[in-house]
Structure 1
Amino acid sequence: MTTRKREITKADILPIADYTQRRAEMRKAVVALKKPRRIEVGPAATFYFECFETMLQQVQEMLYIEKGGDEQLADELRAYNPLIPQGRELVATVMFEIDEPIRRANFLARLGGVEHSAFLKFAGETVKGVPEADQDRTNEAGKASSVQFIHFPMSDAQAAAFKQAGQQIIVGFDHPAYAHMAVIGEESRLSLAKDLD
């Protein structure tokens, strides 16, 4: 079994001209990879479980769009490398998506601290989510950011249980204003289990 890569380096980045030629096929491949890694939880939240490939595509796209060269690359690697699972964890970008601006603002104003309320439950275990420590995702007024970055660190035993075929896994929040859960299907579990090697 091949271990997933855990850090993007300059050597992984295609030159802009090469990426431009291969962009459509690479984006198509990442869309297919992302599909089972996308889990809707409740009416407004979506978990996008990240991996080396999703973050590499994100960095390539940012460089393609902004064309900032090596200086931009250094910034992108600082931003996106921390979201690549490091072997005994899952990492999710969580987005709260509400189209209507006033409703969205009111919803997020009640959601302070939601980044500390995410969890995975399986095999009698609860894995609490740990927010990415790059910045506070709830402001002083108690308003949550619409985008959260959450790590789910696991013990060896938890990782082994997660990998068991047919294991029922629940992802959710126990926040007073957003107590929603969803079952992670078997196709998604298989995809995410690869992050735990």
Structure 2
Amino acid sequence: MPQITRDSLLTLEGYAKVRPTMRAEIIAHKKTRMVELGGHVTLIFEDEKTMRYQIQEMLRAERTFEEAGIQDELDAYNPLVPDGTNWKATMMIQYSDPDERKAALARLKGIEDRVWVQVADQPRVYAIADEDLERENEEKTSSVHFLRFELDATSIAAAKSGAAIRMGIDLSAYTVESFTLPENVRAALVVDLA
């Protein structure tokens, strides 16, 4: 899968001109790549388009135009672009009440390693979490994690042939039984596979 390069990014001025249109497109695009697991966990499956937008937004917010700063953003976000044999997702744990969130994050330690996907009747594939840095400590897990689901050739072929894709979480403190992805989400994720 193609990586985002310095030459493929818009300048700050160029991005300012297309930002409202691009933002609307990304919001619509993410709706087909979003999975809610239970009432408090949301996964957004990333791709080149979502990461390109994120990089452009970071460069805009930080007013970055120097080569080193641009390269730092590319180095941070390119690893979140799927490479053809996997799906990559940002997982957010959301509780609106701060006290409830604090208690939940303590109770949900390890959740990032218990999220799974399953294509057809193939074995479940558990997430490989936070490869860039540890986001959990002795007291709690983080409210944001980055997950990678590495698929074998059989699962890839089954997904591409239209097989159902299921997801779930099997942490005792937060269990989501097998949830079949809607067709629009399944179709969006298949595009990420080589």
Q: Which interval holds the TM-score relative to the shorter structure?
A: over 0.9
User: Shift in Å at residue 176 of structure 1?
Assistant: 1.1
- Of the three residues 177, 189, 195, the one matched with 2:186 is 189
Please, what is the CA RMSD of the aligned residues?
1.2
Q: Give the deviation of 1:12 after TM superposition.
A: 1.4
Q: What corresponds to 2:35 in structure 1?
A: 39
Structure 1 position 9 matched with structure 2 position 5: yes
- 1:41-120, aligned counterparts within 5 Å? 41-70=37-66, 71-120=68-117
Distance of 2:166 and 2:120 partners within structure 1: 10
**TM-score, normalised via structure 1 length:** 0.93
User: 2:175 aligns to what SS in structure 1?
Assistant: coil
SS of the residue 1:196 aligns to: coil
How many residue pairs get aligned? The number is 191
Q: Which moved more, 1:29-38 or 1:14-23?
A: 29-38
Any stretches of 5+ residues in structure 2 without a counterpart? none
Distance apart, 1:135 and its partner CA: 1.1
Structure 1 residue aligned with 2:142, among 135, 142, 145?
145
After superposition, residues 14-29 of structure 1 pair within 5 angstroms as: 14-29=10-25
Find the aligned partners of 2:128 and 2:158 in 1 and give their Cα distance.
Answer: 20
Q: What is the CA deviation profile of residues 24-66 of structure 1, one whole-angstrom value per residue up to 9, with x for unaligned ones?
A: 1111111221111011100100010000000000000111111
Normalising by structure 2, what TM-score?
A: 0.94
Displacement after TM superposition at 1:164 (Å): 2.3
- Residues 108, 145 of structure 1: 8 Å contact kept: yes
In structure 2, C-alpha distance between the alignment counterparts of 1:137 and 1:171, rounded to whole Å: 22
Moved over 3 A (4+): none
Find the counterpart in structure 1 of residue 133 from structure 2. 135
- Give the fraction of aligned pairs with identical amino acids, expressed as a percent: 37
Query: How far did 1:122 drift?
Result: 2.5
Give the unaligned 5+ runs of structure 1: none
Mapped partners of 2:57, 2:161: distance in 1? 35
Amino acid at match of 1:107: A
SS of the aligned residue for 2:180 comes to strand
3-state DSSP of counterpart to 2:191: helix
Distance 2:48 2:101 in 1: 31
Shift of the alpha carbon at 1:98? 0.8
